[in-house]
Amino acid sequence: MNYSVPQPAFYIFKCQQSAPLGMPKPSCVSQASAESQQLFMYMAQSLMQKGIISTVQPIQTGCMNRCQLGPVMLVEPGHTMYVDLNKEKIDRIIEEHIIGGNVVEKYVIPAEMWGEPIEPKTLVQH
């Protein structure tokens, strides 16, 4: 089969989970923070303005279990989790990581909050 749309170079998974006002649990989209509500659209518009939306696919997701560090987004490939996001950080991530190919280390989740992935085969029960 011949697909006219090539596979993306990157997927950006942006957590869009929101909690009602007054909920003790933090969430990546907060009713108390207008900026947190705008970040997904801001990122998508930036990708469009730069003309790279055809190869960088923004995806809205639910909670990725790093709520205390939100707003968060995961860049694939590379399994890079960016935390505590705002518009300025998203600008830099697009310029330096997505376009430039260099992970913006200072915005990456601390290693102790991320760790190494657990291989599924080590958990499979027979």
Task: State the residues that interact with ligand FES by CB under 6 A.
Answer: 15, 17, 27-28, 63-67, 70, 72
Shortest Cβ 25–ligand FES spacing (Å):
8
Shortest Cβ 26–ligand FES spacing (Å):
7
Instruction: Give CA separation, 47 vs 40, 50, 87, in Å.
Output: 11, 5, 13
Which spans in 50-110 are helix H?
A: 87-92
Q: How far apart are CA 24 and CA 86, in angstroms?
A: 21
Shortest Cβ 15–ligand FES spacing (Å):
3
Cβ contact 99:90 at 8 Å: no
Which residue, 36 or 46, is less far from ligand FES as judged by CB? 36
Which residue, 47 or 83, is less far from ligand FES as judged by CB? 83
Shortest Cβ 72–ligand FES spacing (Å):
5
Tokens of 53: 């939306």
Name the phi and psi angles at 79, rounded to 5: 60, 40
Which residue, 72 or 94, is less far from ligand FES as judged by CB? 72
Which residue, 19 or 52, is less far from ligand FES as judged by CB? 19
